[in-house]
Structure 1
Amino acid sequence: MPDGTPELSLTLHRAVAEIPAAEWDACANSGNPFVSHAFLAALEESGSVGGRSGWLPQHAALRDAQGRLLACAPMYAKSHSYGEYVFDHGWADALERAGGNYYPKLQVAAPFSPVPGPRLLVHPGSGLRIEAMAQGLRQACEQLDLSSVHVTFCTEYEWTALGAAGWLQRIGTQFHWTNAGYASFDDFLGALASRKRKAIRRERRDAEASGFALKTLRGHEITAKHWTAFHRFYRATTDKKWGRSAYLNARFWPLLGEALGDRVVLMVAEQDGEPVAGALNLLGDEALYGRNWGALVDAPFLHFELCYYRAIDFAIEHKLARVEAGAQGEHKIQRGYLPVPTWSAHWIAHPGLRRAVADFLDRERPAMLREMEALATLSPFRRDAEQE
């Protein structure tokens, strides 16, 4: 319960199902599917979080004296730092070497999803400030005797408010495509330098000539066969990249499809009627969010076609503001996805570690901004003075 506001009470919940979906989504109210009750419930019902996953739900709910939900947050007690995409392994090692325990910690996040969006979900009619929720999370951390609270891939507004409340601020980088009101993919290509435009056209032609049937499926068009195949794609990617167990299990995908319906968009390549590669996206009110990719075949430019170009096609057709293509990958720049900052905020209880991390972040932030400026110079877009 935040200081000075005894009419508010903070409770922690071991399942999102303990909080009515309508109440949760009224607070989320963002058009971002990754903080929706349905998405979080699919993770829990499938067993992808909870159990021995190291992601134990501790969803925070802030209510007034009448029991009305004023704010909530998707939060987990973590026994490791995997699946977060904002890396703090060095911080954990430092505290362990000093004789402390970094784990468990509290993580406010959309699990396994480096997707920016709101994290401290305040009901728009509550009049509540983010700082009240932040204070409640700090108190929960202290009462549970945990090392820290981490709010990752939050909004810049939340980042600023948490920084003003004394949280440590971190900046990262992603690559997003922005829709400048394009009428078609060719219209988008017209904004690029000639050499970049020709390269993308060649890549799309080569992907089309590979002999696969390329499809964009949505909602009910995605069948059980597609989900079974997609889990194989997903495992092929995780096994190759990390060589360890995948975060998401086979039960998650059909539950996700059932829960989110037309917000699920799957770009798929089929060979003789069988899916052989796919890119999974979730649709928000303003953006298409690229999430998972995998393939059982190796074909020229198929990855770019399914993950990037067909996502742009979809965004233009549906008049979306942007496509967010996820973490990492400077190769995305040449496909029109430019660097943008991401935000995270961290509360660390141990004074010595807090000072050390604060010093590190004070040096890291300007370095990240300089890196983004350097990456932006690689933009494929035509400069005003460039002649065609």
Structure 2
Amino acid sequence: MNHTALSYPFLRHEFLQALEDSGSACDASGWYPVHLSLQRDSDTDANLTESKMTEPDAKNAEATEIEIAAEKSAALMPLYLKDHSMGEYVFDHAWANAYHQNGLEYYPKLVTSIPFTPSTGPRVRSEQPLSQDECTQFVDEVLSVAEDTGASSWHFLFPSAEHRQLFNDPRLLQRSGVQYHWHNRDYQQFDDFLATMNSRKRKMVRKERADVAAQGIRVSIEMGADISPDLWSLFYQLYERTYAKRNGSRGYLTEEFFTQIAQTMPEQIAMAVAWLNDQPIACALYFFDHETLYGRYWGSVGEFSYLHFELCYYTGIEFAISRGIKRYDAGAQGEHKIVRGFEPIETHSLHWIKHPGFRDAIARFLVEEKGGIARHIEQANRMLPYRKADQ
């Protein structure tokens, strides 16, 4: 059994279904699902089918309910036809602009990713390990869909190391990025983690946590099944407030999405809640599996010193330590994570570009970009707060 692919929360049927049912990832939002399902008819035969697309032109296809590999013999790869590049976190806007400037259409394009979720993980859900031949079948079928739909490209975002190797096809270009993850080195409590930091940064973390407490704020962890409807309602209000404050827009996800996952997959959800005078004032939402904690969304009713760091970093670290979770992925970007113990890691994506000239130009760009990413990771590692012996 491919345990990682089945436990990874964002590839679960319940998560992907909620994205579509809620109108968060659907045709109207520019994420038209054309998921591919591989059916193993026998030990040696495998057939690929499109679980959402019944016509060659996906834009004219009638949407049907997702079949997220319900059968034990099936594998499911999410695939979306898109007319924009929002919600991906692997930025190709410059590529789209270059196409436009040369009188070419970059959209539609195909994307294999978890919408609005820049978290590395498996990109095919299967109870049986995938073979190299099956992965090649998937690539062949995606390129067939690209031909049928007029897609300019296919983008395979944030794959796990295993799936990046299995999909290491010569037709695909490799791209690198960087995120910052915290690693649990068998700590028994938060102070064990602090003990690995140099004195100045250890004092900084303690001061930040003490300042939160000095404001009269206490923090609790609410497990998924125990999160009340009122807390979910507040969380969504704060989620929208965060987006409005950051860029003046609505959040990608609808309230119906959160309502649905609260009911269908609570066992992989936790929420850090900050309370002042017994009233909730801030929330941070986590997902988790047996090896990784994923910090996804946060919001607050106002400005409170260091509360973001407390809910989004320190409380998450404590939660991971308490459950023996090995890694904390606190989301994209955020170089301020480095001095708080989050280490730079290289992320990956794979890209098929139909136009030969643009493929060559993008390939050259990716070589230069990878060098810049490597230099950034080297510099970030020098900024880590750990004592020399603990790095």
What TM-score, normalized by structure 1, do the two folds share? 0.89
Task: Please name the residue that 1:184 is paired with.
Answer: 189
1:346-388 CA distance string (max 9 Å, x none) = 11111111111111101111110111111110010111299xx
Kindly tell me the number of residue pairs found equivalent between the two proteins: 362
Structure 2: distance between partners of 1:315 and 1:209: 25
Aligned-pair CA distance for 1:122 = 4.5
Task: Please name the residue that 2:202 is paired with.
Answer: 197
Structure 1: distance between partners of 2:135 and 2:319: 34
User: What is the correspondence of 1:130-145 to structure 2 with a 5 Å cutoff?
Assistant: 130-145=135-150
Unpaired runs of 5+ in structure 1? 1-24
Picking from 322, 334, 339, the partner of 2:344 is: 339
Task: Name the SS for the 2:156 alignment partner.
Answer: strand
Structure 2: distance between partners of 1:375 and 1:26: 34
Aligned-pair CA distance for 1:164 = 3.6
Picking from 208, 232, 238, the partner of 2:237 is: 232
Task: Name the SS for the 2:388 alignment partner.
Answer: coil
Aligned-pair CA distance for 1:186 = 0.5
Task: Please name the residue that 1:284 is paired with.
Answer: 289
Q: Does 1:42 align with 2:40?
A: no
Task: Please name the residue that 1:272 is paired with.
Answer: 277
Task: Please name the residue that 2:108 is paired with.
Answer: 104
Q: Does 1:154 align with 2:162?
A: no
Picking from 29, 54, 60, the partner of 2:5 is: 29
Picking from 99, 111, 117, the partner of 1:113 is: 117
| Residues 179 and 307 of structure 1, relative CA distance in 2, 3 Å threshold | same
Structure 2: distance between partners of 1:328 and 1:258: 30
1:15-73 CA distance string (max 9 Å, x none) = xxxxxxxxxx9797342101111111111121111142111111111224567754321
Task: Name the SS for the 2:220 alignment partner.
Answer: strand
Structure 2: distance between partners of 1:202 and 1:263: 31
1:53-103 CA distance string (max 9 Å, x none) = 111111111224567754321111111000000000111111122222111
Task: Name the SS for the 2:210 alignment partner.
Answer: helix
Structure 2: distance between partners of 1:280 and 1:385: 30
Structure 2: distance between partners of 1:261 and 1:149: 33
Q: Does 1:295 align with 2:300?
A: yes
Task: Please name the residue that 1:213 is paired with.
Answer: 218
Q: Does 1:354 align with 2:378?
A: no
Aligned residues of 1:70 and 1:126 also touching (Cα < 8 A): no
Structure 2: distance between partners of 1:343 and 1:162: 12
Q: Does 1:53 align with 2:29?
A: yes
1:148-199 CA distance string (max 9 Å, x none) = 1101111233334434432011011111000000011011111110111111
Structure 2: distance between partners of 1:340 and 1:104: 31
Structure 2: distance between partners of 1:42 and 1:286: 23
Task: Name the SS for the 2:238 alignment partner.
Answer: helix
| Residues 385 and 149 of structure 1, relative CA distance in 2, 3 Å threshold | closer
What TM-score, normalized by structure 2, do the two folds share? 0.88
Picking from 238, 256, 274, the partner of 2:261 is: 256
Q: Does 1:95 align with 2:71?
A: no
| Residues 354 and 123 of structure 1, relative CA distance in 2, 3 Å threshold | farther
1:313-367 CA distance string (max 9 Å, x none) = 0111100111111100111011111100111001111111111111110111111
Task: Name the SS for the 1:29 alignment partner.
Answer: helix
1:263-285 CA distance string (max 9 Å, x none) = 11100112333322111110111
The aligned amino acid for 2:105 is N
Aligned-pair CA distance for 1:115 = 0.6
Task: Please name the residue that 1:7 is paired with.
Answer: none
Percent of counterpart pairs with the same letter? 39
Unpaired runs of 5+ in structure 2? 48-70
Structure 2: distance between partners of 1:378 and 1:160: 30
Aligned-pair CA distance for 1:292 = 0.6
